[in-house]
């Protein structure tokens, strides 16, 4: 092993300025045994670096090579596996664990011992030694800086050099001395024993000389010892003085420690006093209620403005004291508990006093407001609640305080307010609607006619039955409608435009009075009860419902209140409770208006739509918007019912078999409806509803005009169609209804077609024999006979033609035209004034026939000189004379 160690030092470590201190022959545990050496080395230069190097024999030769090196500072644990039994295995824990098996336990122990010494010297015991025999470690000499000689070639330990280092390399000086010594002895190399013996003899000579020199200097040694004894005595005296000084300083130290401790206690006491003062000041500043505030809460005047202000300030101060954020431990203080109890008693007392006072105010308001109902009973106005709201708003801050401190009493006040105000508003609104109904119907007698009894204002009458229509032979349209049709609630004979305008103004007045009343009350509730009415909501309690084009907000059943999920819902619930009668009274008023005249539904639809639109722009989910939306549905149903009734009446029309038809009543009623509707719906929001009604009505008019024309026996079908479609066309042209442009063109076309048909049918063949003669001529020509050869036919010669012409002198023609005029006059009615139009067209048709006959005479009887016994001018004169005579 020594030879291997020397070879490794020479070949591997000396070139790297390293010294090999220990070596162990090992192989890896559990694998095929490939031997290598673990070497413990230190560098020869400072700072010293200690390493564990793995050296392996080369596969290509007998030399060794350095395989891997670890710094000793990276070694964490040395595990010897067993501290009692001999075991060649051991582990080294670097960045990972390396398991080794030494060739012998002695080599392992020697290597671990060297590692322990290097750890003691260079790493200050940073490495943990596990399963290493404590006896082995105790036997190892302690390595210190003093025990290790300095210099480049210093040993690892200062004791047993041989056990630490078996080999130590010579330095240059030692090599030089040995070379000089060996040069002086020629046989030093050839006879090493003789050379060693010589060196031993010289060493003995030197030792003897040293002993003699020591003996010669014994006197100086004695002197030196004496001086040392004296020095020791001086040292003893100095130590005594130092001991006395130390005792004195110890006393001073104790006194200074006592002073320092006393200062610390004083500082601690001052700190505690400052903190205690801060806590007391905090409690006093935040939990002390002024006597004035206490007096205001206990005895303050809640009726005067000054007293209300004092109570408000006191209540805010009390709330601040009760809501102060106490610091940890404050709630355990008896004084704090007592003060909190006192605050609670004050709060309870003032809340009870405030609730009682406001309840009295609510009751008094009901009495005061009731006394003013009489002056409004004859006027269509609602009492003004602004003074009451103004007085109550002085308590708004106190209501907010009550809401934050005693929600039970706040809820009680809310309920009482709704109870008192709902009864008050119910009386006011009932009386208001009663006045409105009386104004609509006129006198009390007339109100009984429409089913109004007493003050209830409810409709008890039944709807009027619809009598069958009978068409009269003469008279203007209004008298004709009056005598033929009991129009019930559609007729304009009982109620003229002035009556409808009066109804419109009354209905508008009702809505205009209700709207500010509801808005003012809702605004007051929001301010007085401190409820947010414009906060964002995840949903509303209304949903759009399309009822044949009507979009309305459906509210809940007023008898089943919804759970209050927000302050906005609470406002709505309160409004529903307070104004629970508005919707039913509005519906009752609408039913009365519809019963008086179904055309009133047009006025109500426009007015109600406008107010709903206005309310939805302010707040689409408000009580007013919801209620008006519901009422609007009723109005739209009445409007649809009005349209349906008109169509039904059209279908039920019956005509007289003995009189001419003229303008049908439902055509005149459509004209009246359209004119009224256009004036009402001008610039209205719900024009679409009217356009849909127009479409239904005009279709019904078209269908039923044709139906009546087909059933007519006295009046020709073409006359019924011509006159009525002319009237419809004139009405649509005058009113310029954009949605009925197609129907207007259709009406014009039907009028034109039936006018032409009637003219041709009525005129017929006024020169009948002459017509038959020329029809025979045209037949011969059609059979292939040339026109100029027709005169050679026996039945159609010139003589026969002259005979036929002589039968129609001018006098007979005029007589025939006169009879025709009387016949047409008998068919047509006076209202449309179409007689002259029809007569002019008949004149044109007669002239056309006359020209046709002259043309045939000219072509078939050329040069015969045969002519009619009257001219075109005669025809014009005849027609003009007949028209003027009638």
Nearest of 875, 866, 761 to residue 812 by alpha carbon: 875
Closest among 565, 649, 579, 639 to 609, alpha carbons compared: 639
pLDDT digits 0-9 by tens, 21-54:
999 999 987 766 788 999 999 998 888 889 999 9
Return the biggest CA–CA distance within the chain. Answer: 211
Write down the pLDDT at residue 79.
92
Element of type H or E holding 567? helix 567-578
Give the whole-angstrom CA distance, residue 460 versus residue 179. 153
Residue 384 CB neighbour total at 10 angstroms: 14
For residues 676 and 598, give the distance between their C-alpha atoms in angstroms, rounded to a whole number: 12
Backbone angles phi, psi at 388, to 5 degrees: -65, -45
Tokens at residue 805, please?
Answer: 């012409």
> What's the rounded Cα separation, in Å, for the pair 351 and 302?
12
Q: pLDDT tens digits for 495-548? A: 467 778 888 888 888 999 988 999 899 899 888 888 876 544 333 333 333 333
Helix (H) or strand (E) holding 517: helix 497-528
Cα atoms in the 13 Å half-sphere on the side-chain side of 659: 16
What is d(CA 487, CA 465) in angstroms, rounded to the nearest whole number? 9
Distance CA 2, CA 735 (A): 135
d(C-alpha 430, C-alpha 761), whole Å = 66
**Which among 636, 582, 588 has a CA at the least distance from the CA of 441?**
588
Q: For residue 111, what are the contacts with CB-CB under 8 A and spacing of at least 6?
A: 22, 23, 24, 38, 40, 102
Judge whether 485 and 668 are in contact, CB under 8 Å.
no
Angle value at C-alpha 601, between 600 and 604, nearest 5 degrees: 90
How far is the CA of 338 from the CAs of 65, 317, 330, 333, 802, in angstroms?
92, 18, 12, 9, 141
| Whole-angstrom distance, CA of residue 792 vs CA of residue 347 | 133
What sign does the CA torsion over 15, 17, 18, 19 have?
positive
Question: How far is residue 264's CA from residue 642's CA, in Å, rounded to a whole number?
Answer: 102
- Cβ atoms of 376 and 385 within 8 Å: the answer is no
Place of tokens 């090999």: 20
Q: Which of 643, 692, 688 is nearest to 669 (CA)?
A: 643
In this prediction, residue 366 carries a pLDDT of: 64
What does residue 628 show for φ and ψ, rounded to 5 degrees?
-65, -35
Question: At a CB cut-off of 8 Å and minimum separation 6, what does 109 contact?
Answer: 136
- CA dist 537 and 492 (Å) reads 49
Residues of the chain with pLDDT under 70: 31-32, 61, 125, 135-136, 138-170, 186-190, 366-378, 443-496, 533-565, 658, 764-765, 886
CB-neighbour burial class of residue 398 (10 A; exposed 0-12, middle 13-18, buried 19+): buried
If you ran DSSP here, which 8-state letter would residue 1 be given? -
At 666, list the tokens: 């439902």
Which residues is 36 bridged to in the sheet?
26
How far is 393 from 416, CA to CA, in rounded Å?
17
Query: CA torsion, points 654, 657, 662, 665, in degrees to nearest 10?
Result: -20
Task: Extract the tokens encoding 694.
Answer: 């127009």
Which pair of structure tokens corresponds to residue 12?
């591997």
Within 13 Å, how many C-alpha atoms sit on residue 391's CB side? 11
Structure-block tokens of residue 395? 């308590």
pLDDT at 839: 80
Could you tell me which residues come within 8 angstroms of residue 449 by beta carbon, excluding any fewer than 6 positions away?
441, 461
Q: How far apart are CA 75 and CA 128, in angstroms?
A: 9
Cα–Cα distance for residue pair 201/330, rounded to 1 Å: 100
d(CA 461, CA 359): 43
Distance CA(236)–CA(623), nearest Å, equals 112
Euclidean distance between CA atoms 257 and 264, whole angstroms: 10
Q: In the structure encoding, which two tokens stand for residue 670, read together?
A: 């459509």
612 CB burial (10 A radius; 0-12, 13-18, 19+): buried
């Amino acid at each position: 092993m020594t030879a291997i160690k020397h070879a490794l030092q020479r070949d591997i470590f000396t070139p790297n300025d390293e010294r090999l201190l220990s070596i162990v022959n090992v192989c890896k545990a559990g694998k095929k045994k490939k031997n290598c050496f673990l070497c413990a080395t230190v560098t020869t230069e400072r700072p010293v670096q200690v390493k564990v190097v793995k050296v392996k024999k080369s596969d290509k030769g007998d030399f060794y090579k350095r395989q891997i090196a670890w710094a000793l500072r990276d070694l964490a644990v040395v595990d010897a596996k067993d501290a009692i039994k001999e075991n060649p295995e051991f582990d080294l824990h670097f960045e990972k664990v390396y398991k080794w098996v030494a060739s012998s336990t002695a080599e392992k122990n020697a290597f671990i011992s060297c590692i322990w010494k290097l750890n003691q010297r260079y790493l200050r015991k940073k490495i943990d030694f596990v399963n290493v025999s404590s006896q082995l470690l105790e036997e190892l000499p302690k390595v210190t800086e003093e025990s290790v000689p300095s210099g480049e070639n210093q040993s690892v330990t200062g004791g047993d050099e041989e056990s630490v280092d078996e080999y130590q390399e010579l330095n240059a000086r030692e090599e030089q001395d040995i070379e000089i010594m060996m040069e002086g002895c020629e046989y030093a190399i050839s006879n090493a024993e003789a050379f060693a013996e010589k060196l031993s003899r010289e060493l003995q000579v030197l030792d003897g000389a040293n002993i003699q020199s020591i003996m010669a200097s014994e006197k100086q040694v004695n002197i030196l010892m004496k001086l040392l004894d004296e020095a020791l005595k001086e040292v003893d005296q100095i130590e005594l003085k130092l001991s006395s000084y130390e005792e004195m300083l110890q006393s001073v130290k104790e006194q200074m420690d006592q002073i320092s401790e006393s200062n610390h206690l004083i500082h601690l006491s001052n700190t505690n006093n400052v903190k205690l003062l801060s806590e007391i000041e905090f409690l006093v500043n935040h939990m002390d209620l002024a006597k004035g505030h206490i007096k205001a809460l206990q005895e303050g005047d809640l009726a005067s403005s000054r007293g209300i202000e004092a109570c408000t300030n006191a209540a805010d101060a009390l709330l601040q004291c009760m809501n102060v954020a106490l610091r940890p431990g404050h709630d355990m203080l008896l004084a704090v508990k007592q003060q909190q109890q006192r605050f609670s008693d004050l709060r309870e007392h003032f809340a009870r006093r405030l609730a009682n006072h406001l309840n009295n105010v609510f009751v008094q308001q009901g009495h005061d407001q009731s006394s003013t109902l009489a002056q409004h009973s004859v006027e269509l106005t609602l009492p003004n609640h602004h003074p009451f709201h103004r007085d109550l708003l002085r308590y708004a801050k106190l209501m907010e305080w009550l809401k934050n401190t005693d929600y039970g009493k706040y809820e009680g006040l809310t309920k009482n307010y709704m109870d008192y105000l709902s009864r008050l508003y119910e009386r006011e609104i009932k009386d208001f609607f009663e006045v409105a109904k009386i104004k609509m119907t006129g006198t009390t007698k007339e109100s009984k006619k429409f089913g109004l009894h007493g003050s209830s204002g409810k409709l008890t009458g039944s709807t009027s039955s619809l009598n069958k229509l009978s068409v009269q032979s003469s008279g203007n349209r209004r008298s004709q409608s009056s005598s033929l049709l009991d129009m019930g609630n559609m007729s304009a004979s009982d109620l003229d435009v002035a009556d409808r305008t009066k109804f419109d103004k009354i209905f508008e007045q009702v809505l205009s009075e209700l709207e500010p009343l509801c808005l003012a009350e809702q605004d007051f509730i929001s301010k007085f009860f401190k409820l947010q009415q414009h906060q964002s909501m995840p949903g509303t309690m209304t949903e759009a419902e399309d009822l044949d084009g009507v979009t309305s907000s459906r509210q809940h059943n007023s008898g089943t209140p919804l759970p209050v999920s927000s302050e906005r819902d609470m406002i709505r619930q309160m409004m529903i409770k307070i104004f629970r009668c508005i919707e039913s009274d509005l519906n009752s008023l609408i039913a009365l208006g519809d019963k008086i005249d179904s055309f009133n539904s047009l006025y109500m639809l426009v007015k109600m739509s406008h107010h709903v639109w206005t309310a939805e722009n302010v707040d689409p989910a408000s009580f007013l918007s919801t209620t008006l939306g519901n009422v609007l549905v009723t109005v739209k149903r009445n409007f649809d019912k009005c349209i349906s009734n008109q169509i039904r009446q059209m279908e039920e029309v019956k005509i007289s078999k003995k009189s001419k038809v003229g303008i049908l009543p439902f055509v005149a009623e459509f004209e009246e409806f359209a004119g009224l509707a256009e004036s009402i719906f001008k610039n209205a929001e719900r024009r679409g509803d009217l356009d849909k009604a127009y479409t239904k009505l005009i279709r019904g008019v078209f269908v039923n005009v044709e139906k009546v024309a087909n059933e007519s026996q006295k009046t020709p079908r073409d006359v019924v169609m011509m006159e009525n479609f002319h009237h419809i066309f004139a009405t649509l042209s005058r009113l310029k209804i954009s949605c009925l442009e197609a129907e207007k063109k259709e009406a014009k076309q039907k009028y034109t077609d039936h006018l032409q048909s009637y003219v041709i049918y009525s005129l017929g063949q006024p020169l009948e024999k002459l017509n038959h003669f020329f029809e025979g001529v045209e037949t011969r020509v059609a059979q292939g006979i040339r026109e100029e050869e027709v005169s050679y036919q026996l039945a159609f010669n010139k003589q026969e033609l002259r005979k036929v012409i002589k039968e129609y002198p001018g006098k007979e023609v005029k007589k025939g035209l006169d009879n025709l005029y009387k016949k047409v006059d008998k068919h047509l009615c006076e209202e449309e004034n179409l007689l002259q139009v029809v007569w002019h067209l008949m004149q044109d048709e007669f002239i056309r026939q006359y020209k046709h006959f002259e043309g045939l005479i000219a072509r078939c009887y050329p040069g015969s000189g045969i002519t009619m016994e009257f001219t075109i001018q005669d025809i014009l004169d005849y027609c003009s004379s007949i028209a003027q005579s009638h």
